[in-house]
Amino acid sequence: MKISPKIVIFLIIILLSIAFPFFAGPYQQSIAKNVIIYMILALSWNMLLKTGQISFGLAGFFGIGAYASVLLSLKLGIPPILTIVLGGIVTSLVASAMGMIILRLRAMYFAITTLALGEIFRVIIHNVPNFAGGAHGLILPGVIFDGNGLYTYWLFLGAALFSIGLSYYFDKSKIHLALTAIRDNETTAKVRGIDIFKYLLIVFTITAGMQGIAGGLYAQSFGFVTPESSFSGDFILLPIAMALLGGIYTTAGPVVGAIVLGVISEYLKLYIPYGHLIVYGLIIVIVILFMPNGIIGALYVKIDGRKTFGKVDQPNE
């Protein structure tokens, strides 16, 4: 097998990120963990976007994963790492049940319905104080690995690499062809014998699982969940801004976008405590208007001379 420079660069980046805690302080590590949470969300959102479906249900599934993980360790005493995985599975199950119904909707109807579902989950959690702590949420007796920063970071990194791998696999496998066909022209895809609903359901379930795992990681590393923080709108807005800035429809886009925006926002938070999220809104607007292919798209055009990257900016007559 020929070793291409791409693989070498990729391996170096992985090794560097594994070694990151040895030359970075706890503050930098906590930024890295935040970036990873949003990176997973951005990757999963982008994976569903490839089918042409835009979901605003990120926060809903994130919250379900967080609550499932915390409830499993509190009520059943299951070890934290396992609850994160189980939380992802629970979220997947919920999503596939939901998907059976809502994946028949398209475009704005799908988008708004997912937004409403997230809200419903929050209201349910809010109103069952005996089971899920109600408005005050739940507190874990301790955080994962007893607060060992090194292990926690590696766990997060593992989840990030897993998500990147999954997204990459979807880019390269046969599923990718089916998904792109669905996005480009659903009717044609249907005529060609692609089982649209099946593929949509697969992707919806998997991406929701990823979002659930991100929620579990978040909950276990902070040691608490509340309806307002676990279902926060930030978990919708930030990942979307990141994926857009990096470049949608690619795997590298959300990764680059999450790192760039995640680091910038940490500094903005220091200077503008109120309303630093305005930057995310502005980025979304500016990117959609002026560079719909994002950073990665712009790079591709520069390097490869490819003009037909993605399909975002083509008029849809």
Partner 1 sequence: MTKAKRLFLSGGIFILALIIFIWRPTILIYGIQRAGLYAAVALPMALVLGIVHIVNLAHGELLMVGAYLTYFVSVTFGLDPLIALLPVAVVMFLLGMVIYKLTIKHTLKAPELNQLILTFGLAMVLGQSVNLIATSQPRTLTVDYVSTSLSIGELTFGVYDFIFPATALIILGGLLFFLRKTRVGKAAQAVGQNPRGAEIVGIDVDKIYLIIFSLSTALVSIMGSLYLTKQSIFPLVGGPFTMKSFALVAMAGIGSLPGVLIASLVLGVSETFLLSFKGYGGWSNIVFFAFIIGVILIRSHKGKQI
Interacting residues toward partner 1 by CB under 8 A: 49, 52, 54, 56, 101-102, 104-105, 107-109, 111-113, 115-117, 119-120, 123-124, 126-127, 233, 237, 240-241, 244, 272, 274-278, 280-285, 288-289, 292, 311-313, 315-317
Pick the closer one to partner 1 by CB: 161 or 279.
Answer: 279
What 3 state SS string does the chain have? CCCCHHHHHHHHHHHHHHHHHHHCCHHHHHHHHHHHHHHHHHHHHHHHHCCCCCCCCHHHHHHHHHHHHHHHHHHCCCCHHHHHHHHHHHHHHHHHHHHHHHCCCCHHHHHHHHHHHHHHHHHHHHCCHHHHCHHHCEECCCCHHHHCHHHHHHHHHHHHHHHHHHHHHHHHCHHHHHHHHHHHCHHHHHHCCCCHHHHHHHHHHHHHHHHHHHHHHHHHHHCEECHHHHCCCHHHHHHHHHHHHHCCCCCHHHHHHHHHHHHHHHHHHHHCCCCCCHHHHHHHHHHHHHCCCHHHHHHHHHHHCCCCCCCCCCCCC
Pick the closer one to partner 1 by CB: 81 or 312.
Answer: 312
Residue 264 burial (CB count, 10 A): 15
Residue 10: CB minimum distance to partner 1, A: 29
Check the CA dihedral 212-124-55-264 and report its sign: negative
Q: In the structure encoding, which two tokens stand for residue 137, read together?
A: 């949420």
Q: Do the bridges between strand 224-225 and strand 138-139 make them parallel or antiparallel, or are there none, so unpaired?
A: antiparallel
Residue 145: CB minimum distance to partner 1, A: 35
Pick the closer one to partner 1 by CB: 308 or 316.
Answer: 316
Pick the closer one to partner 1 by CB: 84 or 98.
Answer: 98
Residue 47: CB minimum distance to partner 1, A: 15
Residue 88: CB minimum distance to partner 1, A: 24
Residue 74: CB minimum distance to partner 1, A: 23
Pick the closer one to partner 1 by CB: 124 or 161.
Answer: 124
Residue 56: CB minimum distance to partner 1, A: 8
Pick the closer one to partner 1 by CB: 8 or 136.
Answer: 136
Per the listing, tokens 């680059």 go with 256
Pick the closer one to partner 1 by CB: 42 or 49.
Answer: 49
Residue 276: CB minimum distance to partner 1, A: 8
Residue 6: CB minimum distance to partner 1, A: 30
Residue 117: CB minimum distance to partner 1, A: 8
How far is the C-alpha of 198 from the C-alpha of 212, rounded, in Å?
21
Pick the closer one to partner 1 by CB: 19 or 120.
Answer: 120
Q: If we measure between CA atoms, which residue out of 145, 134, 142, 119 comes closest to residue 236?
A: 119
Pick the closer one to partner 1 by CB: 32 or 248.
Answer: 248
